Amino acid sequence: MKNIYVLCVLFIIVISLSACVTQKDTDTQCRECPQFAPPHPDWCRGGTIIPGDKDECGCQMPPKCEEKS
């Protein structure tokens, strides 16, 4: 009987630890990266297209246009 009790307690501990390890913060959950359509060819006429940075999930963000002075 004592062995069954010890096994049950160990089983509960293992389940609790695995639940804590697999639980993610809801603010940083990553889903599929968004797909952006290419900009219109005249979108950055006379400027320089700067590639977008990557967000916290590693997804490419949209490009930016840097106007030339």
Q: In 1-69, where does DSSP find H-type helix? A: 2-22
The count of structural domains within the chain is: 1
- Long-range pairs for 40-46 at CB < 8 Å and ≥24 separation? none
Residue 53 lies in a domain: yes
For 37-59, what is each residue's pLDDT tens digit?
888 889 999 999 999 999 999 99
Q: 49: domain range?
A: 43-69
Residue 5 lies in a domain: no
Residue 48 lies in a domain: yes
Averaged confidence pLDDT in the chain: 78
Residue 64 lies in a domain: yes
Question: What's the pTM?
Answer: 0.49
Residue 22 lies in a domain: no
Residue 8 lies in a domain: no
49 vs 20, more confident: 49
Tell me which residue has tokens 């913060």. Answer: 25
Residue 59 lies in a domain: yes
